[in-house]
Each structure stands twice: as structure tokens, then as C-alpha cells.
A = this chain, B = another copy of it.
Amino acid sequence: MSAPRRFLADKLCPVRAKRERRKEARPGELLEAALDLFVEKGFAATRSEEVAARAGVSKGTLFLYFPSKEELFKAVVVENLASLFAGWNQEFEAFEGSTAEMLRYCMRVWWERVASTKASGLTKLMLSEGRNFPELAEFYRKQVVHPGHDLMRRILRRGIDSGEFAPIDVDHAIYAVIAPMLFLMLWKHSVNVCIDGQAELDPETYLSVQTGIVLRGLLAQPGEQTSGKPQRGAPGA
């Protein structure tokens, strides 16, 4: 809302007159306002007019840029989550180093760029309201869940191919990695509602510990035959 973020929609704007500048910035301001409010109140409980008001425009203008509240939400998802995968895919394509390092790096990056930001509220939102808005859920799955799983799948496969990881069933192992991430996001956005005091959970420590556990479960253990399933009992798996 205030920080000088760069929006997808603002990509191609060179230097212009102030007035026009604002015009070009509109979608970004709307997306930012929408993100704030969706995360704060959920999808259904967020009123279009309030989004517009927070972005400093009128109700009509919102619908000028986004044909419906659902489309607005989709745009927020693209802006804050879906669009990240392109860069990540490149990054990991070019990654040099062990897959274990890659996985640690992946989770740290994910924490820094998503989970610790407001964007993680979108995931909580989908978990909360997805069932009531099947089209949004479908969109979210296609734009965020599948790319995320794909990325993770490729990482795991890289590890297996290189002999670093045991030849587990990749499709299931994904969840072992994702579960702690999800938990962190839910904790961040939900638990404060039900627990008065500040819950004591240091996200970075939690994440590093969980990553360690998961990695231990994934790594090929010399002299052991691993099944195609994730280790039963591995936390979050």
C-alpha cells in the first residue's frame, strides 16, 4: 500500500506525467488494497467498495479494471503467488549444488518471499473459503498448487536421479515438504484469533528443524532399501 512495490501491471510503464502515472498505477493500487482486505477479512466478507476506497478510487473504477470480485481475486493470486513460479523455475533450473542444499534454499526463499508476507494469507483464505467458491479454488489449484507441486516434484526427482535421495514415490513425498510450510502459514494467519497471548513459535527455527527432519527422511541411506513411500512417521508426512 505504501512501499514502492512493483506490480506486474506496472511493468511496462516508462516515465510519464504524474497524472498518467497514477492511471497506470491504478491496477496495482487496487491489487494491493484487495490483498490487504482479502487477507484481513476473507473473500466473501470483503466488500468491493472497501477495496476501491482503500485504493483511493471509486467503486466503478474497480469494475473497470476487474470485471468482477472473483476476477479481482484471481489477479491478486497471480500478482502475489502465481507469478513467482516463473522466476523460481529459472532459478532452480540454474541451481548448482546438492539437491539437499537446493531444498533448504527453496524453503528459505519460500519463507522470505511468501510465507512471511501478506501473500501467505491467500493460501489461508483458499483453505478457508475454497469450498464456497469452486471456480476460485480451481483457479488457485491451477495457478499455484500445481506449479508449486511441479517445482517440488522436479526437485525431488533431481535428488533421486542424482542418487542423493532415496527412490521414494515423489507424488507423496511432496506433502512431506509442503506440510510444514502450510502449517506455518496457517499458524501465522489463524491461530492468533483463538489464542490470546502470542503463541511462541519462531518460524525460522521451526522451518529449519522441519526441513532437517524431512531431509533426513529423504536422503538415500547407504545400505538401506527405501520403499516408494515417504517414511511413515516423518513429521508432516
Q: Which residues of A contact B (CB under 8 A)?
A: 40-42, 44-45, 123-124, 126-132, 137, 140-141, 145, 171-172, 175, 179, 182-183, 186-187, 190-191, 193-197, 199-202, 205-206, 208-210, 213, 229-230, 232-237
Contact = CB atoms under 8 A, between A and B. Distances in A.
B193 A209 contact: no
A182 to B, nearest CB: 7
Contact of A206 (B202, B205, B235): B235
A41 B132 contact: yes
B237 A127 contact: no
A206 B236 contact: yes
24 contacts: A41-B131, A42-B128, A42-B132, A45-B132, A127-B128, A128-B128, A130-B194, A131-B193, A141-B195, A141-B196, A145-B194, A172-B200, A175-B199, A175-B200, A182-B186, A183-B186, A200-B229, A200-B230, A205-B233, A206-B233, A206-B237, A208-B233, A209-B234, A210-B235
Secondary structure dominating the interface of A: helix
Contacts of A132: 41-42, 45
Given A124-B128, A141-B194, A201-B236, 9 more contacts: A41-B131, A127-B186, A127-B191, A128-B129, A141-B195, A175-B201, A183-B186, A206-B237, A209-B233
